[in-house]
Structure 1
Amino acid sequence: MPIRAPPGALLEAFRVHCLRVVRAFACGKKPVYSFEKASSSKCTYCTKGNEKCNPIPDYCSDEYAAFMNALDAWNKEDNEAEKADIFTVVKSEAKVLSDVVKVTQAGETGLSVPELLLANHGRLGSLEDSVKKVGQAIKQSETRKVLNARRRKAIAFQTLSYSDEEDEGNESMEL
């Protein structure tokens, strides 16, 4: 699953493919996307291009999973004819993933800093409302449980006191 690697961490350790590699696949190239050196913080493709690796954003997890499935199938295939067919799937999945990131980033660049903060504040507010609703539902459920337990105790007590009265009545008749 794509996640952002902490600063200074190796991207390979987090299995984050570079967005530049995805875009290269989308253009029909077959880039080397491995990490040649354990000490490198950049993939081979970005090292050769003297570029910075861009991790895939975590909001693209579904598209990333589809791309990875196609890429794994392409890597495992031995038949060249099948491999060519699978590469068209890899290319299309890479294009979809790349387009999702482009559209999202294009929408964010039009927003100013206050608008971004307000959007995040709105999301936070809706999240807080959801948490409050869950808390209220839990309280209502617990209240119902307590009331039902009290009702059962009252019924049991009434049943016991009624059976005690019957027992006393039976004893007085026997005397």
Structure 2
Amino acid sequence: MPATPVLDALREIHRLERDRLASTPHKDMPKSPQAQVAFLHRRLGRNTSRVAELLGVHPQTVRRYLRGQRRNPPPAFADRLRTEVAARFRSRFARQADTAIRQQGLRAYITATFTFSSPSAGTSDDGRERRLNEDLTPAETERLLAARDAGDEKQALQIVGQGVGEAYFGLRETGMDVEVRDLIHIKFEL
């Protein structure tokens, strides 16, 4: 499995904020088949046909689970149900943590080698290791969270490198690109 230091750091700040927000243990994903079907039913606009299509069953089967008439799904259906619920489940505290991160913004602490490029001057070959800590703009924070949700480590590193580099070197809106060549350490704070 490839290393994902930026995504891991984002997940860690998200976990810390989620735990801070949770005064009681955070709500777990629905466990019983009936609760899982009901969760999907609510998420998909209370449309039984959409839930049935998603799960690959007849709409009447969904209705039976909703009414509690079926309780023990076949293994293949149970796996599909669990997978679909997990893909859509976000606890209330996780959503609140994302909201707090978006509102407060992130401060990035990064140790890496930075290089620069511009359309007119080309690319610098003499990157040097720097320890920087800068605030990311709200737009950069939003793009960073989208990269986290997509699981795109390369995009996340590019966003952090560009944001921190532009803030530190005063390059915002100059057309120069900042690239992180060798990432040594990264951490985020609110």
Q: TM over 0.5, yes or no?
A: no
Query: Relative contact order: is structure 1 or structure 2 higher (C-alpha 8 Å, sep ≥ 6)?
Result: 2
Normalised-by-shorter TM-score class: under 0.3
TM-score normalised to the size of structure 1? 0.24
Greater helix fraction, Structure 1 or Structure 2: 1
